[in-house]
Structure 1
């Protein structure tokens, strides 16, 4: 029973590490003026939006969004600009990556790296960061992290997709349908996603041991300390509607929004 609870908490922690909604801890690349990021995030890195979109299930979600946008675009405008389904699938992938980058930049700005690392060491014990780094290199844990990155790729893409659709709804952009299976009620696709993201839990459960158990314990503490040291006031000022700065130009150029 303890093991199941530990695994559930750890997977919830990794899911939190991948998103912005509550914790703002996803890593950001190629930022010259970014704040110092926690060592924890360097060890527990999640895939970039561009990497995430390459996962088969994430790509499927992107293609669904492209199809919805193709059907929502004004037909005469779409024809005049020779925009076919492939063009909208490409647009969907581009926008998912752009929105993901936007959200991750906000996440990084809300995180105090040194404070997070100090809080983690205080809760997990002296030398906990080197221990976490050492454990992450253990073969059994390393494979778990590989599988968790695959899981995060899908979960992150779904988060970006949900926020795109919320942004368009808030701005009263007329869209014919939903790509997000939770919004569309597509239980078959949601079940497919859950099946695709269940591998890490099965793997961890089949590879119980001292290294895995300790790593999962540290993972839960890492999630908690990263949450506690985030600037929640800054995060609460953000909402999906602010994504329109990313979405508006491309959607107008592709006949989804009126000029």
Structure 2
């Protein structure tokens, strides 16, 4: 297993779901973790569970001043791993039924938040000549997903941001990569299946079955598998500008 002892990681959206699973995997690999999010009670719960070498900072990644305060609060800590996981699923609806406010909310968190976090923490990494940034995208940024245009467009934007940024900071010794999970079993997908069932007049079970049938393994991936993939990526020296698919074969 990759040994991350002596390294400190910042994980956005770290209070629950994928963020908590990624924080847990990094912590188990030896890293000190800083979980970041908007809900202090959720952040407290994950820090209490992890115990030593774990702390939390409340931050809204879509707010430049909030991200600046986060950077300043960690100024005395060498952040060598940044995982941009914060994101929202957005509406499940036809594009013509989506409001400007709904569209902007998805892009503010999923894309603007990734930009602001990279802008805040990359200067120190490039000055040191080392560091890793992993942006969590989605297979939905690489294949059609009807009635999810804000989400899929935002994840495609994250893929483009990652590949270009890798060429900006790679020469300084900083690796920037993307992990693209497929549907991850948990509350978010349960919500999506419920909304799709309501929209289409089908059952929740039918909506789920139709979705996972697109995966070669015929199932969703787990939060623990995503956390393990992040740790594995950090052990792959020489990888930069890559997009790693973790979808149980959905892209295939």
Greater relative contact order (Cα < 8 A, sep 6+): 1
TM-score by length of 2: 0.30
Structure with higher helix content:
1
Structure number with bigger Rg: 1
TM-score by length of 1: 0.29
Structure with higher strand content:
2
